[in-house]
Amino acid sequence: MTPFEYPSFRNYMTARALVTVASEMQAVAVGWQIYSITHKALDLGLVGLAQFLPGVLLFLLAGHTADRFPRRHILQCCYLGFACISALLLMFTVQGLHSVWPVYAVLLGNGVVRAFNGPASQAFLPLVVPEDVFPKAVAWGSSVFQGSQILGPMIGGAVYGIADSPAPVYAGAMACALGALFFMTVLRTEGRVKRPVPSGVIEGLRYLWRNKIVLGAISLDMFAVLLGGAVALLPVFAHDILHVGATGLGVLRGAPGAGAVIMALVLAYRPLGRHAGAIMLSCVAGFGVFTVAFGLSRSLALSVVALMLVGACDMVSVIVRHTLVQVATPDEMRGRVSAVNSVFIGASNEVGQFESGVTAAWLGAIPAVVLGGIGTIVVVALWASLFPDLRRVDQLQLNSRK
């Protein structure tokens, strides 16, 4: 039995796919628009920082909210918020945008919405499928998510390139977010939502501190992607190094997702067996190696292949981390644990973008990417020593969910 046989799972996956497509379309348009105005790599880094800061300030509240209130209602509010963010970007663009500061202000608002969306979304999946099909739902959900991350940038880059304006991209993102709101509205959960047990808002932090394997997995991902993230600098590579324009930017942006979805499908049919921890560490090291290869490439084809391999390696880490966090955590505190996990993910992505922008401003885009990839490899070696239990993880215990 597959999770797609359940209407609740289909509706949730459709909603999540639409909102992910909207986010990725918008990310391509924002990056290209800002770089077209300022031509400064540092300004691309500030895009990530603007969206990460609200998550750092609000993650405890967001996690507590996800455990105290119906998660479906939280997601409905978040999807409406995403639509409003796209509408504001569209309005500023139509009126004529000559400074990037209004965009940063809107992105701060986007960061607030994302802070509440992350924990509620991560903790919602166990509520839409029965327990016996949950492991398959994790793998298929990752496939749908990564597929959307491929489609979104390609659509956004193509529309921007054809229209020579981000306005249609923002309009499309708004429509997708409203579509996600519709599917979330008609969704009904499969099981009964548990009443949260009394516990503090920092319980998620305590849980992770006690569980060194989970702590090692999510912190490894955070530091590795923080150093090795090249996504923020893709507009620089598309514009100044590979000379492929906005359409090429969409292809580059979608390449990691393409590799990730292929790997997710492979893992859905052939789950990790023995030596899961060692495989995860090896794939994170591969993430760094292929990041270096991308930084040194001067060919669009080679760059796309390198980015696809980056995404494939990263997906192994995502599957292992998501399984450890969601399967082993009781539902009544899953929101708080997911909130902490969201901060780690945000740190690796958004702060990684800021780090890449600052490094590129100092050293140039190519050295920033190459040194970041080397830094990822160093982190893997260090984490293998600091978290020996993670290195020794053998089989993922999918049947241990409480």
Domains, the chain = 3-186+201-400 (1.20.1250.20)
Percent of the chain with pLDDT over 70: 88
Q: What is the mean pLDDT of residues 268-290?
A: 84
The set of residues, in sequence order, having a beta carbon less than 8 Å from that of 173 and lying 6+ positions away, is: 21, 22, 23, 25, 26, 29, 82, 86, 156
Neighbouring CB atoms inside 10 A of 2's CB total 12
Exposure b/e, 158-173, CB count within 10 A at least 16 = b: bbbbeeeebbbbbbbb
Over residues 340-356, the pLDDT tens digits come to: 777 777 666 666 667 77
Under a CB-based contact definition with an 8 Å cutoff, are residues 63 and 196 in contact? no
Over residues 131-165, the pLDDT tens digits come to: 777 767 877 887 888 788 778 888 998 899 899 99
User: How far is the C-alpha of 66 from the C-alpha of 115, rounded, in Å?
Assistant: 11
Three-state SS for 39? coil
**Alpha-carbon dihedral sign for residues 333, 334, 336, 337:** positive
Which residue in the block uniquely carries the two structure tokens 């160093």? 378
Neighbouring CB atoms inside 10 A of 132's CB total 9
Under a CB-based contact definition with an 8 Å cutoff, are residues 156 and 25 in contact? yes
Over residues 9-26, the pLDDT tens digits come to: 999 999 999 999 999 999
Over residues 367-401, the pLDDT tens digits come to: 988 998 899 999 999 998 888 887 887 766 544 33
What is the overall mean pLDDT for the chain? 83
pLDDT at 69 over 80: yes
Q: What are phi and psi of 364, to 5 degrees?
A: 105, 160
Exposure b/e, 57-92, CB count within 10 A at least 16 = b: ebbbebbbbbbeeebbebbbbbbbbbbbbbbbbbeb
Highest mean pLDDT among 84-93, 153-162, 325-334: 84-93
Q: Which of 183, 173, 129, 182 is nearest to 1 (CA)?
A: 129
N residues, the chain: 402
Q: What is the mean pLDDT of residues 204-222?
A: 77
DSSP state of 374: H
Which residue in the block uniquely carries the two structure tokens 């990564």? 146
The set of residues, in sequence order, having a beta carbon less than 8 Å from that of 400 and lying 6+ positions away, is: 327, 328
Q: What is the pLDDT of residue 326?
A: 66
Three-state SS for 99? coil
Q: What is the pLDDT of residue 110?
A: 94
pLDDT at 365 over 60: yes
Q: What is the pLDDT of residue 347?
A: 62
Q: What is the pLDDT of residue 401?
A: 39
Q: Which residue has the higher pLDDT, 81 or 54?
A: 81
Over residues 123-140, the pLDDT tens digits come to: 888 788 887 777 678 778
Q: Is pTM beyond 0.75 here?
A: no
User: How far is the C-alpha of 246 from the C-alpha of 250, rounded, in Å?
Assistant: 6
Under a CB-based contact definition with an 8 Å cutoff, are residues 258 and 273 in contact? no
Rg (CA), the chain: 20
